[in-house]
C-alpha cells in the first residue's frame, strides 16, 4: 500500500468534501477506503487543506479520475507529502498507544 497526499486551497474544500462523500456505498469509494482531510494550520503546514490516502495502485487510478472533477486539487510536492505522511502516522501511533493504555 502506498500513501499519497493531495492539497487544495481552503475555498475549495467544500468541493473536495462532496467528491469524498459521494457514493459512500459504492464498490469503490473514499468512504470505504478511508482518508484523512487535514487543515494545514493544524499540522503546521500553512494555509491549505491536505488529503491523506493510503491505498493500492488501483484505488489511486479511481481517485485520480474523480479528482479531475475538481480544479485546483493536486498532489503535494514530495517533501511536503513525506512530512504530512510522517505526522499522520505519528498521530495514528499515538492513538493506538492511548487505546492500549486504556484497554491494556
Q: Each residue of 9-46: pLDDT tens digit?
A: 999 999 999 999 999 999 999 999 999 999 999 999 99
Query: Counting Cβ atoms within 10 Å, is residue 15 exposed (0-12), middle (13-18) or buried (19+)?
Result: middle
pLDDT at residue 97 is higher than 90:
no
Summarize the confidence of residues 51-73 as an average pLDDT.
96
Q: Quick one: pLDDT at residue 102?
A: 54
Q: To which H or E segment does residue 87 belong? A: helix 78-103
Q: Considering its fold, how many domains does the chain have in total?
A: 1
Provide the whole-model pTM.
Answer: 0.88
Instruction: Using the Cα atoms of residue 18, residue 19, residue 23 and residue 24 in order, give the sign of their dihedral.
Output: negative
Q: What residue numbers bound the domain in which 97 lies?
A: 2-103
Summarize the confidence of residues 61-77 as an average pLDDT.
96
What CATH number should be reported for the domain holding residue 28?
A: 3.30.70
Amino acid at each position: 500500500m502506498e500513501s499519497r497526499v493531495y492539497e487544495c486551497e481552503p475555498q475549495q474544500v467544500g468541493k473536495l468534501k462532496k467528491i469524498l462523500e459521494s457514493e459512500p456505498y459504492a464498490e469503490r469509494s473514499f468512504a470505504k477506503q478511508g482518508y484523512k482531510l487535514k487543515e494545514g494550520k493544524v499540522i503546521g503546514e500553512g494555509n491549505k487543506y491536505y488529503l491523506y490516502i493510503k491505498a493500492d495502485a488501483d484505488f489511486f487510478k479511481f481517485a485520480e479520475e474523480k479528482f479531475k472533477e475538481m480544479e485546483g486539487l493536486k498532489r503535494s510536492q514530495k517533501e511536503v507529502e513525506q512530512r504530512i505522511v510522517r505526522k499522520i502516522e505519528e498521530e495514528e501511533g499515538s492513538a493506538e498507544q492511548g487505546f492500549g493504555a486504556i484497554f491494556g
